[in-house]
Amino acid sequence: MSYGKFASIYDSLMQDIPYDQYVEWVASRKTSGKLLDLACGTGTLAQLFAELGYEVTASDLSEQMLTMANQRFHESNLRIPTYQLSMDNLEGLQGFDAVTIAIDSLNYLKNGEQVQKTFNEVHKALNEDGMLFFDVHSVYKVDEIYMDSPFILDDEEVSFIWHTEPGKAKHSVIHDITFFVRQQEDLYQRFEETHEQRTFPVATYITWLKAAGFVIESITADFTEAEPGRESERIFFCARKV
């Protein structure tokens, strides 16, 4: 999806995400090599991986996100090639030792067929024994936690009112968010974004990964090494190409 004006405030909204822990999680299982960061957003993770010594390539479907990512890489003197691609169509990208799909990006795919195709595309893009790392919202988070809206953030620079409702598909959610972004001392710009996400049970992801030619290395929850429980919110998958 195209994030529009959302790209300009994405980093402010994501400042509580423990990106360093994400990098540590990947680095503990794949210490070096060529890494493809799918749905890279504004490039925060790609930059961290590059600074750690990985040879990074980044892609995102959103032109606005890639513009900000390229600016970040330029300011950090990093040579990270970028591509405007959907994660379920990676034609021409091959030879990677690791692929990441971070911060519930996979949940933006509309149906199971797209998820399966993404796993197939990633499998083709990876070298033998290459690793896929991704996280998704749990069914519990989508079906229960997200249904407790509205959520409100009142901040000096960016505020929002966030309403949710169930999507048409099972385990899906529609986010309707109204943003107020400070322009001057007493002037705020208002704009609206609608995002739809969908998730699936852990067992379904396992089935699709195995069908694509992966073996499961680990499944953990909420930035820990613990196995997922009923009330886990974010599920982390590490899978290896065979």
The reply to whether 193 and 204 lie within a common domain is no
The length of the chain, given as a count of residues: 242
Please indicate, yes or no, if residue 204 is contained in any of the structural domains: yes
The reply to whether 107 and 219 lie within a common domain is yes
Task: List the CATH number of the domain containing 167.
Answer: 2.20.25.110
The reply to whether 163 and 214 lie within a common domain is no
213, 123 contact by CB (below 8 A): yes
131, 240 contact by CB (below 8 A): yes
- Bond before 201 cis per omega within 30 degrees: no
pLDDT of res. 196: 97
Tell the residue number behind the tokens 């513009």, with chain if given.
Answer: 67
The reply to whether 41 and 110 lie within a common domain is yes
pLDDT of res. 2: 43
66, 45 contact by CB (below 8 A): no
Number of domains within the chain = 2
Closest CA to 173 of 184, 181, 165, 161: 165
Sheet with 234-241: strands ordered across: 82-84, 55-60, 34-38, 96-101, 126-137, 234-241, 214-221
Please indicate, yes or no, if residue 1 is contained in any of the structural domains: no
pLDDT of res. 3: 52
Dihedral sign for Cα atoms in the order 45, 100, 230, 233: positive
Closest CA to 171 of 109, 218, 122: 109
Please indicate, yes or no, if residue 90 is contained in any of the structural domains: yes
Please indicate, yes or no, if residue 132 is contained in any of the structural domains: yes
The reply to whether 131 and 227 lie within a common domain is yes
The reply to whether 46 and 134 lie within a common domain is yes
**Chain centroid offset of residue 103 CA:** 3
pLDDT of res. 10: 65
The reply to whether 204 and 191 lie within a common domain is no
Please indicate, yes or no, if residue 106 is contained in any of the structural domains: yes
Please report, in tens digits, the pLDDT of each residue of the chain (242 residues total).
445 556 666 666 677 889 999 999 999 999 999 999 999 999 999 999 999 999 999 999 999 999 999 999 999 999 999 999 999 999 989 999 999 999 999 999 999 999 999 999 999 999 999 999 999 999 999 999 999 999 998 888 888 999 999 999 999 999 999 988 888 777 888 888 899 999 999 999 999 999 999 999 999 999 999 999 999 999 999 999 99
The reply to whether 170 and 130 lie within a common domain is no
pLDDT of res. 153: 87
The reply to whether 92 and 207 lie within a common domain is yes
Segments forming the whole domain that contains residue 55: 6-138+200-241
The reply to whether 180 and 110 lie within a common domain is no
The reply to whether 104 and 153 lie within a common domain is no
Q: How far is the C-alpha of 119 from the C-alpha of 220, rounded, in Å?
A: 19
Can you list the alpha helix ranges (DSSP code H) found in the chain? 6-13, 19-27, 44-51, 63-75, 112-125, 139-140, 202-212
The reply to whether 92 and 212 lie within a common domain is yes
Task: List the CATH number of the domain containing 50.
Answer: 3.40.50.150
| pTM across the whole model | 0.93
Please indicate, yes or no, if residue 224 is contained in any of the structural domains: yes
Please indicate, yes or no, if residue 147 is contained in any of the structural domains: yes
pLDDT of res. 16: 80
